[in-house]
Chains A and B, each alone.
Chain A
Amino acid sequence: MGQDKLKHYEGVLSAVHTLEYPYTRSVGRVIGTFLAGLREGRILGIRGAGGSVLVPPSEYDPVTTESLTEMLDVGDTGVVTTWSWVEAPRAKHPLQKPFAWALVKLDGATTSLLHAVDAGDEKRMKTGMRVRVRWRAERKGGISDIECFEPAEAKS
């Protein structure tokens, strides 16, 4: 909005308004186990049809619709399959500095998980780059127990 326009609106009221719905919901056995795993610092997937490994896990196979039960640990390192750079994070974003939203295919998984990657600089982001989980010190059983991913070379 240009300065002229702002001047025009001088004297018009504005106020902060927060709308909040405090949803509590049951997550079911599979997601419940996945979340409990995160609290332990583990990432659990589920065996899908044809030997696929779905991470995050789902209760039913997306192709055959068969019920799935076999959960398994996958690695805490993986590969960025696609990403989008966030230059100006919003208040509710997981990182308060520029970061990437990325789909990360963890080692041992067939599907990708959406999370933040703290690469420091957009120039470091590449499709195919290896990343590693950065765990939060205090974990509560939620997806934010993974603070973010970071380039795997950084610590190896």
Chain B
Amino acid sequence: MSTQQGRPLPDPIKMVTIPSRLDYTITPGEAPTRFLRGILEGRILAERCPKCGKVYMPPRGSCATCAIPTKEQVELSAKGTVTTFCVVNLPFYGQAVEIPYVCASVVLDGADLPFFCLLAECPVEEVRPGMRVEAVWCEPSERKPSLENIRYMKPTGEPDATYESFKEHL
């Protein structure tokens, strides 16, 4: 190619890096703030719906089913049951954990919603639904108001939970 005017065209640029970046200010709201302040102290403060009794962890401040505020706080232990999981084998930009690793849905004892977390201190091929796990917390000096204070869940070594006990939470 050349221009009609006869001036030679420059060699084309082949690749461009264009970061797509969004800067947010996140304000979690009152119920998640109560929850995150608890997390700073290493406590898990869920909230119970006064009507249906469902326990939200993390709390949203209202019950998704009954549409009423959940004011009652319930402190949960940091033990729970794996409901589902996936093994991550693919590396990607920004990955914080060495592959292969396990992301799991864990429902804490007494909670009615599973939450998403890392699972470690366990060979990936041994992870299974029903596995009993417990939280490994950051050192108190490293804690932030974030669920990342739970560095990961690890097996407790207890016998597996029965499918019946967590099938409602899949």
Interface residues of chain A, those whose CB is within 8 Å of chain B, are 9, 11-33, 35-37, 39-40, 42, 44, 47, 69-73, 91-92, 141-142
Contact = CB atoms under 8 A, between A and B. Distances in A.
Given A15-B26, A23-B19, A30-B12, 8 more contacts: A9-B30, A13-B28, A14-B26, A20-B20, A22-B17, A23-B17, A26-B15, A27-B12
B84 interface: no
Contacts of A19: 21-22, 24
A39 B30 CA distance: 51
Contacts of B21: 18-21, 92
Interface stretch (B1-9, B44-52, B152-160): B1-9
B9 A12 contact: no
A27 B93 contact: no
Given A71-B1, A73-B3, A17 B14 contact: no
A36 B10 contact: yes
Of A9, A11, A21, chain B has the most CB atoms within 10 Å of the CB of A21
A73 B26 contact: no
Given A15-B25, A19-B24, A71-B1, A36 B13 contact: yes
A72 B30 contact: no
Contacts of B15: 24-27
Interface of B: 1, 3-5, 7, 9-30, 32-33, 36-37, 93, 145
Given A32-B13, A33-B12, A37-B10, A21 B20 contact: yes
A30 to B, nearest CB: 8
Contact of A72 (B3, B17, B37): B3
Contacts of B3: 44, 70-73
A35 to B, nearest CB: 4
A36 B11 contact: yes
Given A13-B33, A29-B12, A73-B7, A22 B23 contact: no
A57 to B, nearest CB: 11
Given A12-B30, A18-B21, A21-B19, A33 B14 contact: no
13 contacts: A9-B30, A12-B29, A18-B23, A20-B20, A22-B19, A24-B18, A26-B14, A30-B12, A33-B1, A36-B13, A37-B9, A70-B4, A71-B9
